[in-house]
Amino acid sequence: MVGRWRILVVFLLVVAFLGCSSSEEKIAKHMEKGIAFAKEGKLREAAIEFQNVLQIDPKHPKANYELAEIYLKTGNLRQALSQYRKAVDVDPENLEARIKLSSLLIAAGELEEAEKHLQYVLQKEPENIKALNLLATLRLRQKDYKNAEKLAEQVLAKDPGNIEALVIISRVYNAKGEKAKALAKLKEAIAKSPDNVFLYELLLRQYLENGKVKEAETLLKELTAKFPKQTRFVRELVSLYVAQGKFKDAENFLLTWNEKHPNEVFGRLMLIDLYRQLGQIDKAIQLAEESLKKWPDSLDLKAQLAYLLVQKNKLDEAQKLVDEVLAKNPNHPIAHLVRGKIRLAKGLLAEALEDFEITVKGRPRLAEAYHFIGVVNLLQGKPAEARKALEKAIELNPLAWKTRLIYARLLLAQGEPDKAREEAVKVLRLMPRNKEAGLLLAASYMAEKKFAEAEKIYKRMIQIFPKDPTVHFAYATCLYAQKKIKEAVAQDLKTLELAPNHLPALTRLVRYYLAQKEPDKALALIDKHMANFKNKAPLYFLKAQVYLVKKDLKTAEEQLKLALKENDKFLPAYNLLIALYAKEGKLDQALTETEKALEKSPQNVRLLMIKGAILLAQNKNDEAEKVYRQIIEIKPDYFPALNNLAWMLAEKGELEEAFIFAQRARELAPENPYILDTFGWVLYKRGSYDLAISTFKDILEKNPDFLPTRFHLAKALIAKGEKKAALEELEKIVKSPLNFPEKEEAKRLLEELKKS
């Protein structure tokens, strides 16, 4: 028996030994294959081999590092970052892995973690140039310019020709506003590395950002000759010509380029796109069709032709061509770009976004794709994602002036007028007569209430665009803001002279005449321009407002009915007509008009709230309750409906549900006295008098004249037996010059308390 166990143990040891030997052999084979594939450029195959190693030994140091390298080379930065972390975890002394991880972390904005790894490297190797440069870059990101420059200088002391350190110092100077020094340092780097394309791109960007358009143009001409295979410089030179309005120069350059490179389809594509940008769509289509005769299998040309057909709104023809391209190459970036534009035109935002994202995977430097990703995200109400995409588009193509203008508008909307101004100025440096950039520049000053600066810009723009109603209207807005009323009115009148159907200018002038107590002038102005409007509903609506000021309710009603006859979906007319009927006590008619409006806009929360209020006024509480519940289904966080429903339920004695709705409303609007008053009232109804009193007192501390809450506090004090305190509150209510619906009840309650 003992012998058998001894044989079994020996057998198991042999098996274990053989298994161990087999695993090591497998790892060695997979590593050998992986490294060989990587050297041959077969990165996908290499990744599979390294993954096979990690299935056997998840902590294999070299496999973890090599897999991270593959991810980095294939541009899969997220996976690369994660894999370098693993490589560092299993081999903390792999300094190269720490350096590459730090670089990715800096790019991702995770500066604290990046610094931790860099400090580790520098403790081990204080003169590690890569680590010093990365730490300098990190300091630059932190706007610690002094230490960024110091670290870069430390690198240059050891390696005077270090390009990265020179670029860092150039960026430091640029960030500090020392533009001349920044350029000098960048040129010094170029002198040391004259074939470094990246350095020329940086120089070009600095020229453009500093408004040195001539220098940028000269540089691009040199670069197209120096680097003939770098077609991006051809593209950028053409874009610069177009931005400056040098359309003939752009065309001649491309015609010459095509003569020199007759077998390059790229030049034809560029010329086709130039004609598209110039609005010469038919000429572009003709050239595309001619080019397809020479290059019949060119998917790029077919995709470009589809792009042009989208411009002509021939979406079905464009879709047919796109389908043909994608059938042969499912990942063709331009075909996806075009399909994205088709889907965008149809309002299919999610599908369009998917196409644009596929485009950037195939063409990660295509600025236009990022532009449209930004546009879609804006339409989807995702400003943070839009901003990121627009910034990437501008980074890739500093000449993308349309992208800059969209970005500037976004910055203005996000409360960053200074940054919006920078973008507008950059466009104006390229295109001094760009109207939209000028308007954005003035608007950036308006946002900061720097009206005098804005006015100077508007005056210059009126000189450049004397017959543009948009400029005159914007200038009027600036003048109104400065209380320069007569001058503002003159500009609004000029706007109407240039654009007789300019509704905002007409509306503002009507309001001006009403403020001046000249309603007849307002009516005369509306009548004068009535014939200029195809849709007259807004004008009848304006007339109704004038008649309301004149207290001619009958004529106001007639004008509102005319507005709705003209356009039965014009909700402002419904709203005013409903208010008019409610004011006259014609609740049935008000309800009828509300129902009509809801037929046009069934989920309009504001209209539903009006309906609920009318039903309450008619004592149709059950129907009102249904309406408020309907609102909450449509918009669960709409606190006015939650508040009203809570109040109604409390009055019915359904206190538990009332408390739930009141609590939700309070969470959504914690400073609103009406919401807090309802919450306190529900507490009072539940018998939680101390909490109710505390809530009412909190409201009155901030809103001492809010009489409904004071009355409710008095009631809660009475319920708690604090008669004296209740009398004091009721006395304050009675003595107050302010009125509220329950004031008479407060007076009666005061008299009763005094008698008791």
| CATH of region 638-755 | 1.25.40.10
Residues 562-589 pLDDT 10s: 999 999 999 999 999 999 999 899 999 9
pLDDT over threshold 90, residue 46? no
DSSP letters of 14-64? HHHHHHHHHHHHHHHHHHHHHHHHHHHT-HHHHHHHHHHHHHH-TT-HHHH
| Residues whose CB is less than 8 angstroms from the CB of residue 124 and which lie 6 or more positions away in sequence, other chains included | 93, 95
Residue 665 has pLDDT above 70, yes or no: yes
The tokens for 603 are 């989920």
Are 98 and 120 a contacting pair, CB within 8 Å? Answer: yes
**What's the rounded Cα separation, in Å, for the pair 287 and 295?**
12
Statement: residue 132 has pLDDT above 90: yes
CA angle 585, 587, 591 (to 5 degrees): 150
Fill in the amino acid letter for 393: A
Distant-in-sequence contacts of 267-273, Cβ < 8 A, 24+ apart: 267/234, 268/295, 268/301, 269/300, 269/301, 269/304, 270/234, 270/235, 270/238, 272/304, 272/308, 273/304
SS3 568: coil
Which H, E and C letters describe 477-536, residue by residue? HHHHHCCCHHHHHHHHHHHHHHCCCCHHHHHHHHHHHHHCCCHHHHHHHHHHHHHHCCCC
The answer to whether domain 568-635 has CATH 1.25.40.10 is yes
Q: What is the mean pLDDT of residues 305-327?
A: 91
| Cα separation, 301 vs 272, whole angstroms | 9
What values do phi and psi take at 547, rounded to 5?
A: -65, -30
Residue 222: its pLDDT value, please? 92
Question: Would you mind telling me the total number of residues written for the chain in this entry?
Answer: 756
Residue 352, CA atoms < 13 Å, CB-side half-sphere: 23
Q: Tell me the two tokens of residue 649.
A: 């339920």
Q: What is the pLDDT of residue 7?
A: 39
Q: Is the pLDDT of residue 8 over 60?
A: no
Longest Cα pair distance anywhere in the chain, in angstroms? Answer: 121
Q: Are 166 and 190 in contact (CB under 8 A)?
A: no
Beta carbons within 10 angstroms of residue 286's beta carbon: 14
What tokens were used for 337? 């770009």
pLDDT, tens digit, 9 for 90 and up, residues 467-516: 999 999 999 999 999 999 999 999 999 999 999 999 999 999 999 999 99
Radius of gyration of the chain (CA): 36
- Give the per-residue pLDDT at 105: 92
If pLDDT is split at 50, 70 and 90, which confidence band does 107 have? Answer: confident
**CA quadruple 660, 662, 663, 668: dihedral sign:** positive
User: One fold for both 568-635 and 638-755?
Assistant: yes
Distance, in Å, from the CA atom of 221 to the CA atom of 233, rounded to the nearest integer, reads 8
Quote the pLDDT of residue 407. Answer: 97
Distances (CA, A) of 72 to 36, 47, 84: 17, 11, 10
Question: What's the pLDDT tens digit per position in 535-554?
Answer: 999 999 999 999 999 999 99
Higher pLDDT, 12 or 198: 198
Element (H, E) at 643: helix 639-652
What pLDDT does residue 20 have? Answer: 45
Mean pLDDT confidence for 16-24 = 55
- Averaged pLDDT, 40-49: 88
Domain ranges of the chain: 568-635, 638-755
pLDDT band at 10 (very low <50, low <70, confident <90, very high): very low
Model pTM score: 0.69
- State the average pLDDT over residues 26-30: 87
Distance of CA 342 to the CA centre of its chain: 22
Q: Summarize the confidence of residues 361-370 as an average pLDDT.
A: 90
Q: Is the pLDDT of residue 245 over 50?
A: yes
Confidence at residue 22, expressed as pLDDT on a 0 to 100 scale? 67
Given pLDDT bands bounded at 50, 70 and 90, which one contains residue 212? confident
Lowest mean pLDDT among 13-22, 122-131, 682-691: 13-22
Please state, in angstroms and rounded to a whole number, the distance separating the CA atoms of residues 84 and 517.
74
Which residues have CB under 8 Å from 370's CB, separation 6+?
356, 360, 389, 390, 392, 393, 396
